[in-house]
């Protein structure tokens, strides 16, 4: 009777596994709760999308939501401005800059949910955006490979 | 008597664990299903895509282009196993190059090269956050890759995606 109640090594292992699982779940939810408690606000992030075809640019609209390749929401398009991409030519020692008719350099302003910490903008409170950083995002119709130009320290209203 | 009671108890313990693990498996499956269904279902619709194939030998295109790509041909994935859409039209457009003449920079048509713009009708599916998909392939303007346009395998840039209107 007594021997049947005694725990063997497998029992201890399973108990340990169960305790680890429970503590993992608790740590995860505790972290999420703390993060959601933080004051996340929308900040304007300005990015540059270079050498895009005119028709590709028209596939991006103000108000579009941009996602990462993994499907995580990145931000919302606040404004789009574009100028013809320029080609540099050198002839007879002179440098010429010729604007393209088909390709545009596009500046996009995004509203990104995050917080400022030690001079860094942390998207979602954790993902630090850096000036000069290159990323690829997706709207409903377009793919945007862009470079971060700057962000504004004041939240978007 | 004692031996058979112990065996019964051991069997009961084993059964308890089996039931516990089965319950856990059901719970995980339910959680997985919930998370999957939360992502939403995919809606299916038609889009018109324009692909750009740059820098094709103009002479070759004029001689053999009709053999390479025809209207109505399928657009296939690079290895040819998946049909992504149907080619609606093929148009040769000037391949522009920048030049300087008499100190004035300008664009001019390349004498030997041409670009091809191929319009393709595709049925795609959409789910929030996952964009448009034709099969497993993500369809997004600005993307590029290798495709089989009819019998012609080439790298192409997808420059435009529009929802097909009636």
Lowest model confidence (mean pLDDT) among A35-39, A114-118, A150-154, B63-67: A35-39
pLDDT tens-digit profile of B107-147? 999 999 999 999 999 999 988 778 899 988 899 999 999 99
Q: How many Cβ atoms from other residues are within 10 Å of residue A100's Cβ?
A: 18
Contacts of residue A82, Cβ cutoff 8 Å, sequence gap at least 6:
A57, A104, A105, A106, A107
Q: In Å, what is the CA distance from B152 to each residue of A2, B50, B64, B83, B159?
A: 79, 16, 11, 14, 19
Selected residue of A141, A142, A145, A146 to mutate for chain B interface (largest B Cβ count, 10 A): A141
Q: Which residues of A touch B (CB under 8 A)?
A: 4, 14, 52-53, 55-56, 58-59, 67, 71-73, 87, 89, 91-92, 94, 96-98, 100-102, 138-145
* Helix count and strand count (H, E) for chain A: 3, 8
Residue A1 has pLDDT above 50, yes or no: no
Helix (H, G, I), strand (E, B) or coil at A128: strand
Which pair of tokens denotes residue B127?
A: 């789910």
Work out the percent of chain B whose per-residue pLDDT is above 90.
64
Mean pLDDT of chain A: 88
Lowest mean pLDDT among A152-156, B2-6, B101-105: B2-6
Q: Say what the pLDDT of residue B43 is.
A: 83
Q: Name which of A79, A88, A132 is nearest A110 in CA terms.
A: A79
Q: What's the length of chain B?
A: 166
**Alpha carbon A110 to chain centroid, angstroms:** 10
Please, which pLDDT band fits residue A96 given cuts at 50, 70 and 90?
A: very high
SS3 sequence, B29-45? HHHHHHHHHHCCCCEEE
C-alpha B33/C-alpha B25 separation (Å) is 12
Q: What is the pLDDT of residues A53-69, one digit of tens each?
A: 999 999 999 999 999 98
Structure tokens belonging to residue B30 = 């339910």
pLDDT band with cut points at 50, 70 and 90 for residue A3: very low
Looking at the DSSP bridge assignments, the partners of residue A109 are: A46, A79
Q: Do A53 and B160 lie within an 8 Å CB cutoff?
A: yes
pLDDT interval class at B34 (50, 70, 90): confident
Question: Does the global pTM surpass 0.90?
Answer: no
Can you read off the two tokens belonging to residue A42? Answer: 């929308």
How many angstroms separate the CA atoms of A96 and A88, rounded? 6
What's A101's DSSP letter? Answer: E
For chain B, what is the HEC assignment? CHHHHHHHHHHHHHHHHHHHHHHHHHHHHHHHHHHHHHCCCCEEEEEEEEEEEEEEEHHHHHHHHHHHCCCCCEEEECCCCCEEEEEEEEEEEEEEEEEEECCEEEEEEEEEEEEEEEEEEEEEEEECCCEEEECCEEECECCEEEEEECCEEEEEEEEEEEECCC
DSSP code at position A156: P
Q: Average pLDDT for residues B37-44, to the nearest whole number?
A: 71
Chain A neighbors of B17, CB-CB under 8 A: 14
Interface pTM, i.e. ipTM: 0.73
pLDDT tens digits, A129-154: 999 999 999 999 999 999 999 999 88
The mean predicted confidence, pLDDT, of chain B is: 89
């Amino acid at each position: 009777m007594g021997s049947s109640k005694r725990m063997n090594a497998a029992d201890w292992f399973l108990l340990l596994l169960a305790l680890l699982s429970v503590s993992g779940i608790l740590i995860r939810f505790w972290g999420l709760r703390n993060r959601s408690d933080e004051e996340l606000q929308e900040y304007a992030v300005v990015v540059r999308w270079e050498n895009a075809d005119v028709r590709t640019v028209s596939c991006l609209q103000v108000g579009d939501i941009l996602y990462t390749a993994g499907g995580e929401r990145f931000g919302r398009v606040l404004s789009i401005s574009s100028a013809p991409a320029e080609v540099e030519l050198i002839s007879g020692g002179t440098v010429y800059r010729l604007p393209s008719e088909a390709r545009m350099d596009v500046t996009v302003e995004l509203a990104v949910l995050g917080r400022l910490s030690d001079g860094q903008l942390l998207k979602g409170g954790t993902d630090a955006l850096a000036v000069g950083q290159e990323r690829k995002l997706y709207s409903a119709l377009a793919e945007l490979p862009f470079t971060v130009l700057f962000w504004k320290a004041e939240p978007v209203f | 008597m004692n031996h058979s009671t112990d065996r019964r108890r051991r069997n009961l313990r084993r059964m308890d664990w089996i039931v516990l693990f089965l319950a856990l498996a059901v719970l995980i499956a339910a959680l997985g299903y919930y998370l999957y269904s939360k992502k939403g279902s995919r809606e299916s619709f038609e889009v018109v895509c324009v692909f750009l194939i740059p820098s094709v030998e103009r002479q070759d295109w004029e001689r053999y282009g009709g053999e390479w790509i025809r209207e109505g041909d399928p657009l296939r994935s690079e290895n040819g196993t998946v049909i992504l859409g149907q080619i609606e039209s093929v148009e040769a457009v000037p391949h522009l190059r920048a030049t300087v003449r008499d100190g004035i920079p300008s664009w001019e048509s390349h004498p030997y090269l041409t670009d091809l713009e191929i319009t393709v009708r595709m049925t795609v599916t959409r789910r929030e956050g996952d964009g448009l998909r034709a099969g497993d392939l993500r369809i997004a303007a600005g993307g590029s890759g290798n495709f089989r346009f009819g019998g012609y395998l080439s790298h192409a840039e997808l420059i435009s995606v529009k929802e097909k209107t009636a």
